[in-house]
Chain A
Amino acid sequence: MSDLISAIISGIAQGMPLFIVASGLTLIFGVLRILNFAHGAFFMIGAFVMTTVLSGQSVSMPVFLLAALVAAGALAATGALADTFVFRKLYGQHPMIPLLASYALLIALDGLAQVIWGNSPRSQASVEGFGGSIQFGDIRVASYDIVLLVVGVIIGTALFLVLQKTHVGKIVRAVSSDEHMARALGVPARKVQVGVFAVGAALAGLSGALMAPLVSIDVGLAPTFAIQSFAIVIIGGLGSIGGALVAALILGIADSLAVNFAPELAGFSLYIAVALVLLLRPQGLAKKRVGGH
């Protein structure tokens, strides 16, 4: 029983970075109607920036979080640039064209990462004092998992509050539901588009930075995490942040259970979940745009 509980807790924690990266993807889709294939590359660059900033060393918690913010900031700039120079011209065109453009961006960013960081995998040491695990009675939890949980909850709450409760969120939702109408009412839609793309990319970068201590960092990260976040937004329903959260938790827990109790299924749980959802509920768990309509 205690094994089961610790597997579920670790699954929830593993789901958090997935939620953060997928929430960026779904935010961009919900507002801009662009499926950003390059999202996996944003994630990967976040992890690479992390190793460069910290040079792979183990550091204390505040420094680690600061470095993660630096990575997120770098990706926000990348996202804003990508939106300005690539996607700006493509809004409202046939959906295949932005899809191909983001795919091109993915290949280019992957190549750029190879040029900058080389082909050999890098690793990032864990945070000082967070390498081990904590015992609660019978239940053993890795201490870094707790960090992931806390950050995930903070990001999720912040996204919800900003989108639902603030003026900025209202503007974003307005652009999401009807861009032309929003423009007619004087909403600076262009700024919203750049901002949303930057925030979405920053979320991917932040997630990459948080995952850095847990994975081997090389150019193979981009496809792996692009596919996981795609699976999550398909299961959750494109454009729904709540759906992304539920889907990320389901996938995290399913994968953790598979690793612990059915190792031969590990790595497949994601695909099985996607297949099931598509067969039973092809529109995704929640069919709602950002903000809900």
Chain B
Amino acid sequence: MTTPTQAVETIKRAKRPLTGFEAFRAKVPPSVEVLISCVVVALVGGMLFDGSMLFLLTTAVIYALFASATNVLFGWTGVSSFGQAAYFGVGAYTVGLTKDLISNPILAIVLGMASAAIIAGVYGILASRITGVEFAMLTLIFGQILWLLTFRIPELRGENGIPAISRGKLLGVNLFDDQAFWWYVFAIVTLAFLVLRRIRGSSFGAAMTAVRDDPIRAEALGISVRWVRVSAFALAGAFAGLAGGLMAQLQGLVIPEMITWGLSGEVIVMCLIGGMRSFWGPAIGAVLLVLVNYFLLDATSAPDLWVGLALLVIVLVVPGGLLSLPSRISDAVHVRKKEANR
């Protein structure tokens, strides 16, 4: 909820003329921005790296999509979900279960996306009568149910998971080649980001912001808060499922670890590192966390401890995430200048 003082601050900030990079960015249409950023990253990654490094980058990009999907809930709609890994897992397991039936890789991940969206939507409708912390706990519980199911349903093969998922062929190109797979992932992730950016700028995106900032006022304005929340949940589930499907194809294996609450937590950490209030924050946070995990944390024995402590420091010191630092600093500078002029 926004207090009057905060509202005045926001309006003041909005009225201040944009400078430097921000002014340039405001002139570029959002979809062009998405397209250019993705193509640049894809070219740089694909040209400079190969082998295990490219594999790592592909992982990072898939997590970037997962984190952005999760941010639809946390950052856009203001819904806390601690079980997003469940939908990531649904996407992954759909690809795993249909590995012998469907040879087209795109069809497989689209199916994964659809099943994740349906499950998330049904769950969203069932849980839509409650909100707040109870809802947050329920998302966690629901994630654990799916995790438990992987051990109880024989077809899902418990701890061993489903191995030997082939990446398939697309337009005659064998995606088994890591380079080819990188371009494939990037094409899909770019498309997904374009869709997400489009939704963010649409009237539905505005409705989500309204629900986040003040659900009561939003309801009074004629927005169906419940419907917006359920749709946002299905949307986040769909893109989490897409990311999960891609991950299954990348690793060639799905295991119950893809559904555990550890992953749900990690994706929140990614969103937080980058900042939940910006479109790119979660994606950048995801890439950062994957790289940091790989290069720094494997050396120490206790990654969880450091991830937890880092998250704690971020929440306490910069709750807006690392991307909010520049604007916070410039705000502070602005205030100081004003005081100096007085």
Stretch from A99-107, A151-159, A178-186, A198-206 that touches the partner: A99-107
A284 to B132, CA, bound (A): 14
B136 touches A35 (CB 8 A): yes
Tell me whether B305 and A114 are in contact (CB under 8 A): yes
Evaluate contact between A86 and B312: CB separation under 8 angstroms.
Answer: yes
| 12 interchain pairs, CB-CB under 8 A | A37-B82, A95-B133, A100-B315, A101-B316, A104-B312, A107-B308, A108-B309, A110-B308, A267-B148, A271-B145, A278-B130, A282-B129
**Would B305 and A230 count as touching, CB distance under 8 A?**
no
Taking a contact as CB atoms closer than 8 A, the residue among A96, A112, A268, A284 that contacts B305 in the complex is: A112
| Docked pose: A238 CA to B131 CA in angstroms | 12
Query: For window 205-224 of chain B, which residues contact chain A by CB distance below 8 Å?
Result: none
A103 to B304, CA, bound (A): 12
Q: Which 5 A-B pairs have the closest CB atoms?
A: A108-B308, A111-B305, A111-B304, A107-B308, A104-B311
Interface assignment of B203: CB less than 8 Å from any CB of chain A: no
Q: How far is the CB of B166 from chain A (nearest CB, A)?
A: 33
Q: Which of chain A's residues 42-93 have a Cβ closer than 8 Å to chain B?
A: 86, 89-90
Q: In chain B, residues 150-174, which have Cβ atoms closer than 8 Å to a Cβ of chain A?
A: 152
* Chain B interface extent, by class: 35 or more
Check A279–B126 contact: CB distance below 8 A: yes
A115 to B304, CA, bound (A): 10
Contact status of A96 and B80, CB under 8 A, knowing A104-B312, A115-B301: yes
A234 to B134, CA, bound (A): 6
> Which residue of chain A has the shortest Cβ distance to B79 in the bound complex?
A96
Shortest Cβ gap from B78 to chain A (Å): 7
Chain A 102-144 interface 0/1 with B at a Cβ cutoff of 8 Å (1 = within)? 0111111111101100000000000000000000000000000
Question: Roughly how many angstroms separate A86 CA and B317 CA in the complex, as a whole number?
Answer: 11
Q: How far is the CB of A67 from chain B (nearest CB, A)?
A: 26
A35-B133 contact, Cβ under 8 Å, with A105-B308, A115-B301: yes
Extra A-B contacts (18), CB below 8 Å, given A111-B303, A223-B260: A86-B312, A86-B316, A95-B132, A95-B133, A96-B74, A99-B133, A100-B272, A106-B265, A106-B308, A107-B308, A108-B304, A108-B308, A227-B141, A230-B141, A234-B141, A268-B145, A282-B130, A283-B130
Query: A101 and B312: CB pair below 8 A?
Result: yes
